[in-house]
Amino acid sequence: MDDWKPRTTAVHGGVRRSQYNEVSEAIFFTQGFVYDSAEQAEARFLETGPDEFIYARYGNPTVRMLEERLAALEGTEDGFAAASGMAAVNAVLMAAVKPGDRIVAARALFGSCLYILEWLAGFGVEVVLVDGTSEADWRAALSLETALVFLETISNPTLEVIDIALVSELSRQAGALLVVDNTFATPIGASAAAQGADVVIYSSTKHIDGGGRGLGGVVLGSEAFIRGTYEPYAKHTGAALSPFNAWVHLKGIETLDIRVRAAAASAARIAAALTGHGKLERLIYPGLADHPQHAVAARQMDHGGTMLALDLAGGKAAAFRFLNALHIPVISNNLGDAKSIVTHPATTTHQRLPDEQKKALGITPGLVRVSVGLEDCDDLIADIQAALSVI
Q: Which of 162, 176, 215, 367 binds ligand PLP (CB under 6 A)?
A: 215
Among the listed ranges 42-50, 78-86, 338-346, 366-374, the one in contact with ligand PLP (CB under 6 A) is 78-86
Q: Which stretch of DSSP H or E encloses residue 126? A: strand 126-130
Nearest to 230 by CA among 95, 101, 97: 95
Q: Which of 181, 231, 254, 337 binds ligand PLP (CB under 6 A)?
A: 181
Strands 367-371 and 307-312: antiparallel
CB nearer to ligand PLP: give 78 or 152. 152
210: contact with ligand PLP by CB under 6 A: no
Nearest to 25 by CA among 33, 15, 34: 15
Would you tell me how many other CB atoms lie within 10 Å of the CB of residue 120?
20
Is residue 141 helix, strand or coil?
Answer: helix
Q: Which of 65, 71, 72, 86 binds ligand PLP (CB under 6 A)?
A: 86
Q: Which residue is nearest to ligand PLP (CB)?
A: 85
Least Cβ distance, residue 252 to ligand PLP (angstroms)? 13
Least Cβ distance, residue 54 to ligand PLP (angstroms)? 26
Where does 237-284 show beta strands of DSSP type E? Answer: 280-284
Nearest to 340 by CA among 270, 246, 245: 270
Is residue 311 helix, strand or coil?
Answer: strand
User: CA 326 from chain center: how many Å?
Assistant: 27
Q: Which of 171, 205, 340, 343 binds ligand PLP (CB under 6 A)?
A: 205
Q: CA-based angle 232:28:37, to the nearest 5?
A: 70
Residue 273 identity (one-letter amino acid)? A
Alpha-carbon span 160 to 158, nearest angstrom: 6
157: contact with ligand PLP by CB under 6 A: no
Total chain residues near ligand PLP (CB under 6 A): 14
Contact yes or no for 88/201 (Cβ under 8 A): yes
User: CA 149 from chain center: how many Å?
Assistant: 16
Nearest to 65 by CA among 149, 2, 9: 9
Annotate 242-261 with three-state secondary structure: CHHHHHHHHHHHHCHHHHHH
Least Cβ distance, residue 160 to ligand PLP (angstroms)? 12
Among the listed ranges 161-169, 200-208, 265-273, 341-349, the one in contact with ligand PLP (CB under 6 A) is 200-208
349: contact with ligand PLP by CB under 6 A: no
Least Cβ distance, residue 326 to ligand PLP (angstroms)? 21
Per-residue contact flags (x/-) with ligand PLP for residues 133 to 152, judged by CB under 6 A: -------------------x
84: contact with ligand PLP by CB under 6 A: yes
First-to-final CA distance of the chain: 53
Among the listed ranges 179-187, 273-281, 285-293, 308-316, the one in contact with ligand PLP (CB under 6 A) is 179-187
217: contact with ligand PLP by CB under 6 A: yes
Nearest to 339 by CA among 295, 300, 383: 383
Alpha-carbon span 222 to 151, nearest angstrom: 18
184: contact with ligand PLP by CB under 6 A: yes
Alpha-carbon span 183 to 85, nearest angstrom: 9
185: contact with ligand PLP by CB under 6 A: no
CB nearer to ligand PLP: give 156 or 168. 156
CB nearer to ligand PLP: give 203 or 242. 203
Q: Which of 60, 90, 183, 293 binds ligand PLP (CB under 6 A)?
A: 183
Least Cβ distance, residue 104 to ligand PLP (angstroms)? 18
Residue 81 pairs in a beta bridge with: 218
Contact yes or no for 241/66 (Cβ under 8 A): yes
Among the listed ranges 10-18, 27-35, 177-185, 340-348, the one in contact with ligand PLP (CB under 6 A) is 177-185
Least Cβ distance, residue 158 to ligand PLP (angstroms)? 12
Residues 107-136 that bind ligand PLP (CB under 6 A): 110
Site residues for ligand PLP per CB under 6 A: 84-86, 110, 152, 156, 181, 183-184, 203, 205-206, 215, 217
